[in-house]
């Protein structure tokens, strides 16, 4: 939803998402870890960001959901300079109805080599 | 609640200390719809940053934005289950709480407050997101 008297951030995110209540899926903050627990894209923000979105996609698929079911994401990055590359990457995953979103710069994440972590909430069929 | 379908219960069990501010330790809800609101910053309807260097003015814009989003869906602050408040400096906590208390006067949502290194623009001092049940 987009109130007329509020700044419109489309296509990067939505100011608000109104959904029919259903099953809720809470996705842990995802980082650039592969299935072996190894870091993907050390020193490379874009590679890490793509891996994070791929991990989220795997979790969504597990319950028969997709990016279209995601209602809210919270993005944690370790440097504000990652905002621009992230904006370009996120639109590749979310369609015409991107989720509500919060963007935060933090001092560090769980591992010093992580540049980005994204957690998500989805309402699944 | 402004929407007759949703019910909300604020939970503050004995044995968990009294909340440190105007929030509830837990909130449970039964609802038809959920509204997820993006983190709001001091951006006006033209996309312009307001209240540069002034945490109180920024908080006022932030809560005004949240209020507009709630109202646009026929909801009110009574529908809000959870807020998350991000500050760039703990010194801004008091003024942000003052502004928050003008909007949230009862049925306090669960809430988390964090101090972070930065927000989406260097001039942002406060960001608040919310989840509501309708």
Q: What is the pLDDT of residues A13-41, one digit of tens each?
A: 999 999 999 899 999 999 999 999 999 99
Instruction: Report pTM.
Output: 0.92
Inter-chain touch B39–A103, beta carbons under 8 Å: yes
Q: How confident is the model at residue A125 (pLDDT cuts 50, 70, 90)?
A: confident
Computed over every residue of chain B, the mean pLDDT equals: 94
For residue B114, report the phi and psi dihedrals to the nearest 5 degrees.
-135, 150
The residue among B30, B39, B132 with the most chain A CBs within 10 A of its CB, best to mutate, is B39
The residue among B64, B114, B120, B134 with the most chain A CBs within 10 A of its CB, best to mutate, is B120
Pair A108, A56: CB distance under 8 Å = no
Pair B24, B82: CB distance under 8 Å = no
CA distances from B22 to A46, B10, B12, B76, B109 (A): 40, 12, 12, 17, 8
Candidates A14, A102, A107; nearest CB to B129: A102
Judged against a pLDDT cut of 90, whether residue A102 lies above it is answered with yes
Q: What is the per-residue pLDDT for B20? A: 87
Q: What is the pLDDT of residues B22-76, one digit of tens each?
A: 999 999 999 999 999 999 999 999 999 999 999 999 999 999 999 999 999 999 9
Q: Rounded to whole angstroms, how far apart are CA atoms A14 and A17?
A: 7
Q: Rounded to whole angstroms, how far apart are CA atoms A55 and B52?
A: 37
Q: Which residues lie below 8 Å from residue A34, measured CB to CB, with a gap of 6+?
A: A40, A51
């Amino acid at each position: 939803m987009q109130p007329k008297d509020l700044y419109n951030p489309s296509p990067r995110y939505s100011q608000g998402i109104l959904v029919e209540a259903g099953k809720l899926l809470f996705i842990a903050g995802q980082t650039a870890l592969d299935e072996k627990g190894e870091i993907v894209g050390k020193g490379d923000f874009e590679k890490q960001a793509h891996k994070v979105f791929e991990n989220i996609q795997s979790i969504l698929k597990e319950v028969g959901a997709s990016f279209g079911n995601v209602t809210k994401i919270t993005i944690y990055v370790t440097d504000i300079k990652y905002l621009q590359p992230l904006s370009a990457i996120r639109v590749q995953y979310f369609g015409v109805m991107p989720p509500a979103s919060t963007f935060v710069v933090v001092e560090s994440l769980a591992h010093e080599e992580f540049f980005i972590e994204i957690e998500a909430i989805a309402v699944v069929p | 609640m402004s929407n007759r379908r949703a019910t909300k219960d604020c939970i503050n069990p004995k044995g968990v200390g009294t909340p440190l501010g105007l929030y509830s330790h837990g909130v449970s809800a039964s609802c038809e719809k959920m509204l997820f609101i993006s983190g709001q910053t001091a951006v006006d309807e033209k996309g312009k940053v307001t209240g540069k260097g002034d945490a109180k003015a920024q908080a006022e814009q932030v809560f005004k934005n949240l209020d507009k989003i709630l109202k646009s869906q026929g909801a009110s602050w009574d529908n809000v289950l959870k807020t998350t408040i991000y500050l760039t400096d703990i010194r801004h906590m008091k003024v942000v709480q003052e502004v928050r208390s003008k909007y949230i006067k009862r049925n306090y949502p669960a809430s988390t407050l964090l101090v972070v290194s930065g927000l989406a623009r260097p001039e942002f001092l406060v960001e608040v997101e919310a989840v509501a049940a309708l």
